[in-house]
Amino acid sequence: MPFRYSLYGLTLQSNLPIPGLLPAQSEASVDVDVTFRRPHREIGFEQAPWYISHALGENLAPILTVWRSKDASEYRFLYCDKTEFQIDRAGTRVSATWPDGLSLENTISYLVGQISAFVLRLRGSVCLHASAILVDNRAIAIVGDTGAGKSTTAASFVKQGYSVVSEDVTPLLERDSSFFVQPGYPRVNLWPEAVKSLNGTPDALPEIAPPWEKRYLDLQKDGACFYMHAARLGAVYILASRSSKQPAPLIESLSTRDALISLLTFAHGRYLLEKAMRVREFDFMSRLAEVIPVRRVVPHTDLAHLDELCERILRDFRHSAAFVGGTAGAT
């Protein structure tokens, strides 16, 4: 029997159970078929890679290399640990294999992150590299590059009783001139330093999968909360480089032009764009920047200031919601 899950507004069907994901409703139609540990389809790929990451893994191989098939029907993702994915152009089929010594949990970390973001893009969606939380029935997207602190900030909001809508990959949906965040999965992934700051010790939370250092906060346990429905987007906060100087944490408004540049900069997987995708993404982000407040946030280098950062974001968000002529809780 196949297993069905809900992820980023899509229904996934898998030949193996996927830990950490929420089961899909039984009547939901399948959007993406996921196959683990079976031979990939025999397809000829171009000899020259389409994309090679600049960052290198521990074995000095590129963290990610991507090829396109000669007939433009498939993509091949190869990670430096030899985990490999094959994705059809329609974003309806994903297959994954991994070498001995790694595990399904390692592969799932790629699946729910970069791979799902690319599948969503193939299907016409736009994703921010962001964590999203629910405040007064609206989603706040906390955006930034890897290591900027978006997941840590989201986990700090969880400690204050707020729900998470999505983690790392934040898919956006436009409907009736409004923008919505599609729900992800009920976990927040954290580095040991963040776990220590939030929970007292770096090993207070379970590991995602060895040998990776990251751990995860289970949003279905210990009073934590996950919001499993689409939420109207209320604001976007772009995390800039941290500062040890006063008055950090600091929040600054952005012009529409600067907001657009920032949104395009932090689109998830912006380096994996074909021409048609780039045009679609630019048009989408232009409309978003016109109607959604976008702020630049300078966090403090000391994680002891996390509560203060969350408080300033909340104060700014509620002020901007009132300023535009409605309550933040309006739907």
Instruction: Kindly report the pTM of this predicted structure.
Output: 0.91
Is residue 75's pLDDT more than 70? Answer: yes
Is residue 206's pLDDT more than 70? Answer: yes
First-to-last C-alpha distance (Å) of the chain = 39
d(CA 95, CA 8): 18
d(CA 207, CA 183): 23
Lowest mean pLDDT among 2-6, 104-108, 190-194, 222-226: 222-226
**Identity at 301, one-letter amino acid code:** T
pLDDT digits (tens, 9 = 90+) for 251-283: 999 999 999 999 999 999 888 888 889 999 999
Instruction: Give the residue extent of every domain in the chain.
Output: 3-122, 126-323
Q: Under the phi-then-psi rule, with left for phi > 0, alpha for psi from -120 to 50, and beta for the rest, what region is 311? A: alpha
Is residue 329's pLDDT more than 60? Answer: no
- Report the half-sphere exposure of 10 (CA within 13 A, side-chain side): 25
Q: Contact 35/51 with Cβ under 8 angstroms? A: no
- Select the CATH number that applies to the domain covering 126-323 from these four: 3.40.50.2300, 3.40.50.10860, 3.40.50.300, 3.30.470.10: 3.40.50.300
- 248: confidence class by pLDDT, cuts 50, 70, 90: confident
pLDDT of residue 322: 63
Rg (CA), the chain: 20
Is residue 327's pLDDT more than 50? Answer: no
pLDDT of residue 291: 94
- Report the half-sphere exposure of 218 (CA within 13 A, side-chain side): 12
| Residues shown for the chain | 331
Phi and psi at 312, nearest 5°, equal -70, -40
Query: Which residues contact residue 280 at a Cβ distance below 8 angstroms, ignoring those fewer than 6 apart?
Result: 124, 126
- In 3D space, the residue among 200, 186, 179, 133 whose CA is nearest the CA of residue 160 turns out to be 133
Q: Which two tokens stand for residue 196?
A: 């220590």
* Biggest distance spanned by C-alpha atoms of the chain: 58
- In 3D space, the residue among 290, 269, 239 whose CA is nearest the CA of residue 125 turns out to be 269
- 323: confidence class by pLDDT, cuts 50, 70, 90: low
Q: Which two tokens stand for residue 115?
A: 């791979």
